[in-house]
A and B are shown apart, each in its own frame.
Chain A
Amino acid sequence: MTVAATSDPIADSAHSVSELIGAINAVLKRELSEVWVYGEVGKVSQPSSGHVYFDLIEDNEGERQVIAVKLWRGVRQRLAPKMQQHDMDIVTGIKVRIRGTPDLYGASGQFGFKMSDIDPRFTLGDLAAQRDEIIARLKKDGLYDRNRATTLPLVPLVVGVVTSKGSAAHADFMKTLEESGIGFTITLCDVRVQGEGAAEQIAAAVSLLGKQPLVDLVAVIRGGGSRTDLATFDNEVVARAIAGCGKPVFTGIGHDVDKSIADEVAFSWNKTPTACAVAIVDKVQAFVRRFDSAAQRVATVVLAALASSERRVANAVGRLRILRSTVLEAAKSRVDLLASEISAFDPVVLMRRGWSITYGSDGRVIKSLKQTKIGDEVTMRIADGSISSTVIGVASVSSQSNSQKSKQ
């Protein structure tokens, strides 16, 4: 554009757009070069160019102040070792302290901040401090141990799962459950596990699954990531949802640094999705073992009882058999003996040999001379009959041969 008059004072001092932008940037560079600024990371975008753009936010009770930060690919590569060393990344929700220079980008007219450095200690210190504060608040509200006070069913077969569907973490978790051969029922709730809104989604999913009447436990699963990546699980919203969940919550959030706050309040915390699945499988298998052992012992007791009664019956039968033969034998010989003994004394037998018994007239057996006198009538009993006689003489044993006579 050409302005003709030389006497125009406005025209002399006017800037073209690019001049103004150049001037602004010069001032910014002079006054605010390489300044440190801190705030919370808002929306992050990472296009394929390798540059990273994010909002740096200060939220003063609802009054948001935002600066658009540009992290050029080159700077990012330079800072990568430092960030890795501290296990951090630029993710939504974390607090950062970064260095750089504000500038106005001519091509878009947008004001921004070119980042050149970061102070990881700020982020990590903030995470730690934030974590302590959240835990203190949870304890104060009686939430810290609340989920651990829920009751885990003896055989948890219906598992609610909060994870990013199709992730490696999800696959690992499912593989372990499947390989157990146990008939689990999975109710999956697909959520974002990082980035904006992730914490709110996880919290909503935990609450939703916790309200399903059939669900035995809720598993919160996430693969490995940097400490700042996992900041979602240090979020108070997530912690409160887990603490307030009516069902026991098992975590399997892949990390090996610290426990996240989600882990702190969970019923059972596990270092990986696989370990989480193993913990659930173990619960069921513990029951199966206990049950099998009881069943095994029942079988043993029954077999022992049967064997023992079988033995007792066999024993009794055997003893009875022996008893029967010996007793009978003994009885038989005793009877035989008795019989022979008795027969030896049977007067009939004796009479057959010629013995007789003499009865007086009074019917009494005459055993002595004193019981009779001459003229007495006596009866002699012999084997096949009796003889009636009159005593005609008596003699004692010494004169028996001539005196003891009886007249028929």
Chain B
Amino acid sequence: MPRKKDDEVVGYEDAITELEDILDALSDDDINVDELAERVKRATELVKVCRERIAAAKLEVKEIQLPEEAR
């Protein structure tokens, strides 16, 4: 069954943007430990979701037929 984009918690574009934002925030010396922990938790989640989606699934093939008049 093909993956449905509608079901995606977060798009790849958003995921990488968020991850890079987190990185920026973490690089800030003033970040407090609670915030750090929160951000790291979110970053870990993002990495897991994206990795799984890209690598875990097997290659899937389906076929689509040309309409009768085009054959």
Stretch at the interface among A203-211, A330-338, A386-394: A203-211
Which residues from chain A contact B27 at a C-beta distance below 8 Å? 301
**Given that A291-B16, A305-B26, A309-B33 are contacting pairs, would A204 and B66 also be in contact in the complex, using a CB cutoff of 8 Å?**
yes
- Evaluate contact between B43 and A295: CB separation under 8 angstroms: yes
- In the docked arrangement, what's the CA distance between A66 and B11, Å? 57
- Evaluate contact between A185 and B3: CB separation under 8 angstroms: yes
**Given that A153-B12, A204-B70 are contacting pairs, would A294 and B62 also be in contact in the complex, using a CB cutoff of 8 Å?**
no
- Considering the complex, give the chain B residue whose CB is closest to the CB of A207: B70
- Evaluate contact between B2 and A294: CB separation under 8 angstroms: no
Which residues from chain A contact B34 at a C-beta distance below 8 Å? none
- In the docked arrangement, what's the CA distance between A287 and B19, Å? 12
- Considering the complex, give the chain A residue whose CB is closest to the CB of B14: A154
B2: shortest Cβ distance to chain A, in Å?
Answer: 5
- Evaluate contact between B20 and A294: CB separation under 8 angstroms: yes
Q: Is B10 an interface residue (CB 8 A)?
A: no
**Given that A201-B70, A212-B64 are contacting pairs, would A294 and B54 also be in contact in the complex, using a CB cutoff of 8 Å?**
no
Number of interface residues of B (CB under 8 A): 40
- Evaluate contact between A155 and B63: CB separation under 8 angstroms: no
- Evaluate contact between B23 and A188: CB separation under 8 angstroms: no
Q: Within residues 29 to 71 of chain B, which ones have a CB less than 8 A from any CB in chain A?
A: 31, 33, 36, 40, 43, 47, 50-51, 53-67, 70-71
Q: Is A177 an interface residue (CB 8 A)?
A: yes
Q: Which of A183, A191, A204, A297 contacts B60 (CB 8 A)?
A: A183
- In the docked arrangement, what's the CA distance between A129 and B2, Å? 44
- Evaluate contact between A209 and B64: CB separation under 8 angstroms: yes
- Considering the complex, give the chain B residue whose CB is closest to the CB of A204: B70
- Evaluate contact between B61 and A183: CB separation under 8 angstroms: no
Which residues from chain B contact A212 at a C-beta distance below 8 Å? 64
**Given that A188-B61, A284-B54 are contacting pairs, would A291 and B15 also be in contact in the complex, using a CB cutoff of 8 Å?**
yes
**Given that A183-B53, A201-B70 are contacting pairs, would A291 and B47 also be in contact in the complex, using a CB cutoff of 8 Å?**
yes
**Given that A183-B53, A183-B55 are contacting pairs, would A295 and B63 also be in contact in the complex, using a CB cutoff of 8 Å?**
no
A305: shortest Cβ distance to chain B, in Å?
Answer: 6
- In the docked arrangement, what's the CA distance between A302 and B13, Å? 23
Which residues from chain A contact B64 at a C-beta distance below 8 Å? 160, 187-189, 208-209, 212
B53: shortest Cβ distance to chain A, in Å?
Answer: 7
- Evaluate contact between A290 and B16: CB separation under 8 angstroms: yes
A203: shortest Cβ distance to chain B, in Å?
Answer: 9
- Evaluate contact between B66 and A201: CB separation under 8 angstroms: yes
- Considering the complex, give the chain B residue whose CB is closest to the CB of A165: B63
Considering residues A174, A204, A209, A301, which has the most beta carbons from chain B within 10 angstroms of its beta carbon?
A: A301
**Given that A294-B16, A302-B40 are contacting pairs, would A183 and B63 also be in contact in the complex, using a CB cutoff of 8 Å?**
no
Which residues from chain B contact A288 at a C-beta distance below 8 Å? 51, 54-55
- Considering the complex, give the chain A residue whose CB is closest to the CB of B37: A302
- In the docked arrangement, what's the CA distance between A284 and B57, Å? 14
Q: Is A158 an interface residue (CB 8 A)?
A: yes
Extra contacts besides A157-B53, A309-B33 (11): CB < 8 Å: A154-B12, A182-B59, A187-B64, A188-B62, A201-B66, A205-B70, A208-B66, A297-B23, A298-B19, A298-B26, A302-B36
Cβ-closest 10 pairs across A and B? A183-B57, A204-B70, A155-B12, A301-B26, A186-B61, A295-B47, A185-B60, A294-B19, A154-B12, A298-B43
Interface residues of B (CB under 8 A from A): 2-5, 11-13, 15-16, 19-20, 22-23, 26-27, 31, 33, 36, 40, 43, 47, 50-51, 53-67, 70-71
